[in-house]
Structure 1
Amino acid sequence: MRKTVLIAGALALVASLSACGRSGYDRARPDEFAVARAAPLVIPPDFALVPPRPGAPRAQDSQPQNQALDALFGGSAVRSGSENATLDAAGRTGADQGARSTVGDPNTTVVDKGSTTRDIIAAPEGTGRDASAATPQ
Structure 2
Amino acid sequence: MRKSVPILAGLACVVLLSGCGKRGYDRARPDEFAVARQAPLVIPPDYSLVPPQPGAARPQDNASQAQTLDALFGGNTQRSAAENGVVNQAGGDSADTGIRSSVGDPATNVVDKGATTRDIVAAPEGDGQDAKASAQ
**What is the TM-score when the length of structure 2 is the normalising length?**
0.46
Whichever of the two has the greater Rg, that structure is 1
**What is the TM-score when the length of structure 1 is the normalising length?**
0.46
